[in-house]
Amino acid sequence: MVVLYGIKNCDTVKKARVWLDANGIDYQFHDYRIDGLTSELLQRFSSELDWSAMLNRSSTSWRQLSQEQQADLTESKALQLMLEIPTLIKRPILDTGSKLMLGFKADTYQALFK
């Protein structure tokens, strides 16, 4: 089963959901705020995706962090921040069952679901 991870009011997540629906892709939507987020899930993501790419440094949530929180980031520290503040995770993350994909681009999704 294909799973799309994100937050329902995120514009990029909305675009991905519209694309999946329009292309008849059956998927489950996992909203971090409603369905939760575990350290195990984040570890799984970071084992396949680069944790630094997962960290959305252009988000409002990132800008609201203190300089101390932003400084000296390690994978462990970044994942802990993402666990505490899921809006720090770049969205969406698409899990096809065999591959994880970060972000949304229609042409990339098209190639993936060929």
| Residue-wise DSSP of 3-71 | EEEE-TT-HHHHHHHHHHHHTT--EEEEEHHHH---HHHHHHHHHHS-HHHHB-TTSHHHHHS-HHHHS
Q: Which of 4, 7, 10, 37 is catalytic?
A: 10
Judge whether 60 counts as a catalytic residue.
Answer: no
For residues 39 and 81, give the distance between their C-alpha atoms in angstroms, rounded to a whole number.
Answer: 11
Residues taking part in catalysis: 10
